Amino acid sequence: GVNSADDTLAAVVSAECKLAGLADDEIDASALTSALHGYRVGTVGAIRAALEPLQAVWPFDLRQHGYVVQFFPRGGASVETIPEDDLDARPAGQPAGVRITTAREIDAQLPRRVTVRHLDRDREYDTGAQYAERLNSSAVNERVLDLSVVLTSTEAARVAEVLLYLYWRERYDVAFTLPPTYAHLEPGDTITLESAAAGSMRLRLTSVHYTSESTLECTARYADAAIYSSSAAGGGSAVTGSGTVRPIVATSYVLLDLPTVSSKQSGPSFLVAMSGASGWPGGVLMQST
């Protein structure tokens, strides 16, 4: 039988990790509570390739947390507020440096349009496509994502809009150094930096490097919880399936012992009469030797 109920993202992620060799006590995906209609894995490959389509639909991060691989969604609350005086941490005697370094991707490299191709739940899992476009930009690139995830048209439109503005929001790479008092921070944490020049900045840590001087060299990107929610509505399909799977109609047959009525019966053969109930599409009679 086929279970039509939605599964959870945590269950699918855990199942994929187990196929890669991880045990139950090495996986913590309990925070991934989103409902998942369906997910197709058609080839054998790296576990990363299996998780990236799921990350695109439901943005989440993963990290090594102790002896556990931890999965958690983005857009969470800030776990730490860091004052400006704690930036540019360095051993005593060294001259002061730059507290915050920012690099920005040029607009021409960013997508103007993001198109999401998906398995459309309302079209009997045929391929559907929804897009989001940024009009007030000089960018001309289009990014197309083929996702083997079952979505409705509205869900796919919202994924496209979230990804579009996520690419533009995260075009800045922010680097800074923290003292060892912040050693509890891990990649994926959301923090708030206080700066007299730039004000309060909400960032998502992308990497944390522990140096030999016990300082933390961090890189981060701008984070905004509002980006991960969308109210976009997808365009409905002009053609949809019936959604009903009809049962197979039983076939009855009779072997007719009749005189030859055709030259095709010149060899040993039988004529066969076959029939079925209403909706019978025909049948094939096969002999097992």
Which residues does residue 210 pair with via DSSP β-bridges, in sequence order?
A: 216
The owner of tokens 């439901």 is 58
Mean pLDDT by 10 residues, the chain (289 residues): 74 91 92 91 83 92 92 92 84 70 88 93 88 88 93 94 93 91 92 84 92 89 89 77 73 88 82 88 87
Residue from 53, 206, 205 nearest 118 by CA: 53
Q: Which two tokens stand for residue 103?
A: 């690099």
At residue 142, the pLDDT reads 93
All residues at 6 or more sequence positions from 2 whose CB lies less than 8 Å from its CB, including other chains: none
* Alpha-carbon dihedral 157, 163, 166, 168, rounded to 10 degrees: -100
Q: Are 151 and 121 in contact (CB under 8 A)?
A: yes
Q: Which of 104, 225, 255 lies closest to 172 in space, CA to CA? A: 104
Transcribe 178-197 into DSSP letters.
Answer: E-GGGTT--TT-EEEEEETT
| Residues 136, 137, 139: CA angle, nearest 5 degrees | 155
Among candidate residues 114, 94, 143, the one with its CA nearest the CA of residue 230: 114
